[in-house]
Structure 1
Amino acid sequence: MKHAYVFPGQGAQFPGMGKNLYDTNPTAKDLFEKANEILGFRISDVMFTGTDEDLKQTRVTQPAVFLHSVIAFLCGAEGAKPDMVAGHSLGEFSSLVANGALTFEDALKLVYIRATAMQKACEQNPSTMAAVLGLEDAKVEEICKAVSEETGEVVVAANYNCPGQLVISGSLKGIEVACERMKAAGAKRALVLPVGGAFHSPLMAPAREELKAAIEKTTFSTPTCPVYQNVVAKAVSNPAEIKQNLIDQLTGAVKWTQSVQAMVADGATNFTEAGPGKVLQGLIQKIHKEAVVNGIN
């Protein structure tokens, strides 16, 4: 019986996030203040009193979700020794603080570099993502490939969230054509998402270079337990491999379904989601019905 800790990504944010931690826990308050100092602006104010719109900017969303997740873990799971960790997209950075591969400070700096680089890439290349429900993964992949080949537009499978729920990513035109094809092929829904750009697609290549330079300069320690990384969907403990997978993740797919299946195969029975919302708890139960899930926020 193994206990896995998992960490959410962009989209889990909400106004007021983390305020309760700040108000009730002195350690949490110190960490939020340290984050304000590192970032050079009071992100805690945006989190606690900002609007949905304020929190939607990628350069704010990513550090906000990271901070809420990591501080919830450090304060709510004190003394916890995870047997394994994983994070959805951005959440992978939170998971690397939980297993000691990265310090809180270094991870926050990398998250902020990643967020600003992704925001810039989105502005350079207007693009989007769409959720496809009710189609087999292989069918979604086949349609993405066909649309790309026929139109020359970028369209790829980006987030394998759970069976029957896959997010695709690409150019505005490519996603529009792909959504029509998905519906024609029997998808229950093919819905364009309110996101800033085509995350986890080749259109994030400019951001990848910037993140790569920052990651290569950062010290990664040997973790206390393996991380199941998005792009490989298996246990990784080697710091050099962890770094490379983090870089590849920006333009590669988030294999969440496959990561959870690998964790279960390696003995995970209990999953605790640390951070805002309950999205991962829901996905994990769809991937493995017997899993025991809970959350700390």
Structure 2
Amino acid sequence: MTGTAFVFPGQGSQRLGMGRHLLAQRPDLLDTYYRVADDHLGIPLSRLSWHGPARDLDDPVVAQPAILLASLATLEVLRGRGIEPDAVAGHGLGEYAALVAAEVLEWTDALSLVRLRGELTATVADRVQGATVAVLGLDRAAVARLCAAAATATGRAVEITGDNGPGQTVVSGEAEAVTAVMGAARAAGAARVAALKPGGPFHSRLLRGVEAEFTEALISTDFREPRIPLVSSVTGTRVTTAAEAVVALRGQLTSPVRWNQAVRTLDACGTHRFVEVGSGLVLGGLIRRITPGARVHATHTARQLGLTADAFTAAATGV
């Protein structure tokens, strides 16, 4: 595994207008992706992505397929410019786009799974008053101790649900316990403690109640062997078979996102260039912290997409 990795953002990267800049270069995407997605899901996903309202776009039922669609349309534009990945990975929800890029899933099947994923996580968020926060400046072990203390003190569930890189940890759970962790983290000297939106208990054990229904959907979906190297953010390691992909997606509901390890795995295998494919901008910053010196490219605006395409053209021609 060497060369370029395409990395795909997860929930939280949604923003009004995302993906609309792609149509100026590829008007055909309106018919081949956006209208197909609208019909497939039975909701005006393209209108909500481009025009909102913002409160609807923050709903996991809308946000999750909207983020996936923006990533897939961007992937199509990059491939149309002759830019192909040597490996792929996705942050949480972004793993579905990575599976499509690796030809493990058909894109409409991925869209259906993501829509169900959004619906199931929303049912838990409606039932449980949950929250998600990012803690910066404390190591993972210290944050784990704060979570354990908060859970004991409040009698509520809270746990680490994301390892995004050195000193960048995500915590999710019931709001009372998460609030306790926030206060304790600030007292312990955290550089920053920030609430994330949406604030449900994502990637936590509180989602165990919906695992069975989601597993049934996974089993009834056609998965194929990866055509290019694929690294899972569930395990932080390579996914080499269709069966492993199913296991990873099942575990993703209740397992922490191991983005730190996923990027290190890509780096150890010779990846030297990363392209964040879709509406996000956060992964590039995380990658620079994990692997200083890595070349990172963005695609979330027309300008950034153009700069990325130009950089690959220059590299190919030796300019």
TM-score per shorter chain, which class?
over 0.9
Residue 103 of structure 2 is matched in structure 1 by 100
CA contact (8 A) 1:36 1:44 kept: yes
Q: Give SS of 2:170's match.
A: strand
In structure 1, runs of 5+ residues without a counterpart are none
- Is the CA contact 1:6–1:271 (under 8 Å) kept in the aligned structure 2? yes
Instruction: Look up the match of 2:22.
Output: 21
Once the 2 structures are TM-superposed, how far is the Cα of residue 23 of structure 1 from its aligned partner?
A: 4.5
Aligned residue type for 1:64: A
Contact 1:73 1:296 in 2 (8 A): no
Cα distance between partner residues in 2 of 1:19 and 1:41 = 17
Q: How does 1:1-297 map to 2 (within 5 A)?
A: 1-29=2-30, 30-78=32-80, 79-297=82-300
**2:265 aligns to what SS in structure 1?**
helix
User: In the alignment, is the contact (CA less than 8 A) between 1:129 and 1:198 conserved in 2?
Assistant: yes
1:102 and 1:221 in contact (8 A); partners too = yes
Task: Find the residue that maps to 1:9 and give its secondary structure.
Answer: coil
Identity of aligned residues (%): 37
CA distance in 1, matches of 2:59, 2:24: 25
Is the 1:171–1:198 contact (alpha carbons within 8 Å) kept by the matching residues of 2?
A: yes
When structure 1 is superposed on structure 2, of 107-116 and 48-57 the one drifting more is 48-57
Matches of 2:268 and 2:280, distance apart in 1: 26
1:174 Cα deviation after fit: 0.9
Q: Distance in 2 between matches of 1:24 and 1:270?
A: 24
**Tell me, what secondary structure is at the counterpart of 1:221?**
coil
Q: What is the CA distance between 1:262 and its match in structure 2? A: 1.1
Secondary structure of 2:21's aligned partner: helix
Separation in 1 of the partners of 2:299 and 2:195? Answer: 30
CA deviations over 1:65-121 (Å, ceiling 9, x no partner): 100001100122334442211111110001000110000110001010101111111
Deviation at 1:141, TM superposition (A): 1.3
3-state SS of paired residue (2:298): strand
Deviation at 1:210, TM superposition (A): 2.3
Paired AA for residue 176 in structure 2: K
TM-aligned CA deviation for residue 134 of structure 1:
0.6
User: 1:174, 1:106 → 2: CA distance?
Assistant: 36
Structure 2 Cα separation of the partners of residues 147 and 6 of structure 1: 34
Query: Counterpart of 1:177 in 2: which secondary structure?
Result: helix
Distance 1:51 1:22 in 2: 21
Any stretches of 5+ residues in structure 2 without a counterpart?
301-319
| 8 A contact 1:227–1:237 mirrored in 2 | yes
Q: Using the alignment, how far apart are the partners of 1:189 and 1:281 within structure 2?
A: 19
**Conserved in 2, the CA contact under 8 Å of 1:22 and 1:32?**
no
Q: Could you give the per-residue CA deviations for residues 266-285 of structure 1, whole angstroms, max 9, x where no partner exists?
A: 11101011101311111111
Query: What is the Cα-based RMSD across aligned positions, in Å?
Result: 1.4
Amino acid at match of 1:2: G
Number of equivalences: 297
Q: TM-score, length-normalised on structure 1?
A: 0.96
Partners of 1:135 and 1:205 lie apart in 2 by 28
**Superposed displacement of residue 47, structure 1:** 0.9
CA distance in 2 between partners of 1:50 and 1:132 (Å): 29
C-alpha distance after superposition, 1:195-239 (max 9, x if no partner): 241101111122322221111110101111122112210111111
SS state at 2:274 partner = strand
1:13-38 Cα offsets, whole Å, 9 max, x none, are 11111122234413411211110110
